[in-house]
Amino acid sequence: MAPQIHKKFSNEQVKELMQKYLNKEIERKYIQEILGIGKSRFFELTQSYREDPETFSVEYKRSGQTRSIDLEIKKNIIKELAIDKKAIENKDIPLYRYNYSYVQKRLKKVYKQTAALTIIINHAKADGFYLPKRHKQKAHDGEVLTNNAGELIIFPICL
């Protein structure tokens, strides 16, 4: 993943480094090392700085809203989880947990929508469609009755 220059350096610091490079006061490889970027990213920044040094900035704004899903997708997730809940509550059907992967597949197949499994689980928890994992009982509670490891116990056959 590319380093995030805007978190490490201010615009003025990067502008100063770019100006020193253009004035041939500092070599490219040293600036790359300071900024922690590769050759391609360095030349992208240099080109951007040369085009307009006054408005040059390493800051950026996200183009879209993050961490949100479409309201229609959320409604469909809740609708599918409600169907699952009815099946879980029905004593004739041996279900004891929600099948979030099935909900994800139904979204894709029926509604032609996609959502990550973690998003489905988070919405399930937020809207009360979550059951904690059940603790399984041990397979057996057998007790070993030997004195030494590998001891062979022979029972006499009584006729």
Sketch the domain layout of the chain as residue ranges: 5-51, 71-126
| Mean pLDDT of the 95-123 span | 91
| Mean pLDDT of the 77-90 span | 90
pLDDT for residue 18: 93
pLDDT for residue 153: 64
Confidence of residue 106 (pLDDT cuts 50, 70, 90): very high
Confidence of residue 130 (pLDDT cuts 50, 70, 90): confident
What pLDDT, in 10s, does the model give residues 28-54?
Answer: 999 999 998 999 999 999 999 999 989
Q: Is the Cβ–Cβ distance between 81 and 56 less than 8 Å?
A: no
State the angle between helix axes of 11-22 and 39-51 in degrees (0 to 180), rounded to the nearest 10.
Answer: 90
Nearest partner of 58 among 102, 23, 21, 18, judged by Cα = 18
pLDDT for residue 154: 62
Q: What pTM does this model have?
A: 0.49
Average pLDDT score over the chain: 85
